[in-house]
Chain A
Amino acid sequence: MEFGEIVSVLLQGAIVTIKIVAMALPLAALMAFIFGLIRLYAPAPIKQIAVLYIEFFRGTSALIQLYWIYFVLPFFGISIDAMTAGVVALGLNIGAYGTEVVRGAIQSVPKGQYEASVALNFTSTQRVWHIILPQALVNMIPPFGNLAIELVKATSLVSLITIGDLTFKAKALADMTLQVGEIFGVVLVLYFLMAQCLSLFFRYLEKRLSRGLGRGGIDQ
């Protein structure tokens, strides 16, 4: 098979991978925020639900989670297509790690900020939304960037539930042509490029968000 053809087939796979990332990443962020805030601020019984979610998705294999959602849930009457299963499994998995990022970032905002917002008589919701979160958000960006790259790499798992992503296409091509060197070389480069793009994006985000905060740090 010609190199150009290989690249074009692999690019189709890469587009599927990007689609999965584009859908799973917002889901992961949403889960991270919801459960991170629950973990910190909700009453004890609800907090336990968050702990259960986090510990379950961090403590078991992402591949087995994917298999459960795609192969086992249908036995309980819940059938979802492969793409949705992949997005949900990866979103929930990365989201569980993100929860700890959200919690850590909020807790790293200096205590004096909380005290000043009490002294100024903000309500507890206003304290979180207007004082604590805007500062915590900046702390979250670098670890979120790491998680996003983890997500890109974890998408290769969906090749095992029949989705034609980059890894799936590469394996199929390799089985067919045996040109493993070229194929997996291109695959490496494509994954690397996707990760780099995310990395640059998050660095830009960090710069944008830390305006005002950045100069001299937040050690005031």
Chain B
Amino acid sequence: MKKPIIEFKNVQKRFGDTTIFNDFSFRVEENEIVSIIGPSGSGKSTLLRILMTLEGIDGGYINVNGESLWHMPWNGAYVPASNKHLHKMRNHLGMVFQHFNLFPHMTVKRNITEAPMRVKGLSRQEAEKAADDLLELVGLADKADSYPNDLSGGQKQRVGIARALAMRPSILLLDEITSALDPELVDEVLDVIRNLAKEQSFTMLLVTHEMYFAREISDRVCFFDNGAIVEEGKPEDIFTAPKEVRTKAFLNAYLGQ
């Protein structure tokens, strides 16, 4: 077994009285592409948001790249992570959002160069060179000087992907990246991810409702319900011969089989 790049150990997460995760354990190997499917409210997005440090945890441990994400060693014990520790850990991770969350007051190019320059200290020249390459990769070289509000949803999301990639994360979190798009714009975004997947140089964790895409791209598919993995396995197994009743019911509803 390869070494896990992400590992959840007995994680607990609550929002007020609602328990999202109770004793949740989960691991992802390096360069593995894992799709998370399941009904809404099952904790899929929360999983990604905890990894991106947008949500804290109430119990348990999470390791990313061999280091604890939400805790750090201090005087021989583990204590809640400082801002500095979180800042260091975020370098491993990048996230693409359902609603893009592009910076509307910056051009497309500046959306992509801003973080590498300010956070990683790249020179303008280096950052712009990288941005040009990334825009080429996502097919938007001609939109460098446009503002996000002048783009279509699919174009916005491709910028969102380029912006996340510009920070060179080893783990890419994709949170329902096509859910806010008109159907005819979904493919242009998925094509970008397909190409990235071919390189096999990222660990990718994607929450998605695009079942055919999940099947095609993933090394492993996890069916989530009520904050737990009900069933997981190779995509062909999950999609053609699901074992659990809940998985069958969900896939039937989704795929209309």
Q: Which residues of A contact B (CB under 8 A)?
A: 110, 112-113, 115-116, 118-124, 126, 130-131, 134-135, 212-213, 215-218, 220
B245: chain A residues at CB < 8 Å are none
Contact at A126–B52, with CB atoms within 8 Å? Answer: no
Complex Cα distance, B119 from A116, in Å, reads 13
Expressed in whole angstroms, the minimum distance between the Cβ of A135 and any Cβ of chain B is 6
Interface-forming stretch among B65-73, B103-111, B125-133?
B103-111
Contact at A212–B149, with CB atoms within 8 Å? Answer: yes
The 9 closest A-B pairs by CB, nearest first: A112-B101, A116-B101, A120-B115, A216-B149, A119-B95, A212-B147, A121-B90, A121-B119, A134-B105
Contact pick for B104, options A120, A124, A213, CB 8 Å: A213
B135: chain A residues at CB < 8 Å are none
A116, A122, A126, A217: which has the most chain B beta carbons within 10 Å? A116
Cβ contacts B152-196/A at 8 Å (1 or 0 each): 000010000001100100000000000000000000000000000
Q: Check A119/B164 contact, CB under 8 A, given A134-B105, A218-B104, A220-B156.
A: yes
A220: chain B residues at CB < 8 Å are 99-100, 102, 104, 148-149, 156
A213: chain B residues at CB < 8 Å are 104-105, 147, 149
A113: chain B residues at CB < 8 Å are 101, 103
Complex Cα distance, B71 from A204, in Å, reads 50
Contact at A121–B101, with CB atoms within 8 Å? Answer: no
A124, A212, A215: which has the most chain B beta carbons within 10 Å? A212
B118: interface (CB < 8 Å) = yes
A and B contact pairs by CB, cutoff 8 A, 20 listed:
A113-B101, A118-B52, A118-B53, A118-B90, A119-B97, A119-B164, A120-B167, A121-B91, A121-B115, A122-B118, A122-B119, A123-B119, A126-B118, A135-B104, A212-B104, A212-B107, A212-B149, A215-B147, A215-B149, A220-B149
Expressed in whole angstroms, the minimum distance between the Cβ of A133 and any Cβ of chain B is 10
Complex Cα distance, B148 from A147, in Å, reads 32
B148 closest partner in A (C-beta): A220
B38: interface (CB < 8 Å) = no
A120, A130, A213: which has the most chain B beta carbons within 10 Å? A120
A112 closest partner in B (C-beta): B101
A131: chain B residues at CB < 8 Å are 103
Complex Cα distance, B114 from A112, in Å, reads 17
B90: chain A residues at CB < 8 Å are 118-119, 121
Contact pick for B87, options A112, A116, A123, A218, CB 8 Å: A123
Complex Cα distance, B54 from A116, in Å, reads 10
B114 closest partner in A (C-beta): A130
Excluding A110-B101, A112-B101, A126-B119, 18 further A-B contacts by CB distance (< 8 Å) are: A113-B101, A115-B52, A116-B102, A120-B114, A121-B87, A121-B115, A121-B167, A123-B87, A123-B119, A124-B83, A135-B104, A212-B104, A213-B149, A215-B150, A216-B149, A216-B150, A220-B102, A220-B104
B156: chain A residues at CB < 8 Å are 220
A135 closest partner in B (C-beta): B105
B93: interface (CB < 8 Å) = yes
Contact at B104–A119, with CB atoms within 8 Å? Answer: no
Expressed in whole angstroms, the minimum distance between the Cβ of B48 and any Cβ of chain A is 10
Contact at B119–A212, with CB atoms within 8 Å? Answer: no
Which residues 33-75 of B have a CB within 8 angstroms of A?
A: 52-54
Contact at B99–A112, with CB atoms within 8 Å? Answer: yes
A215: chain B residues at CB < 8 Å are 147, 149-150
B84 closest partner in A (C-beta): A123
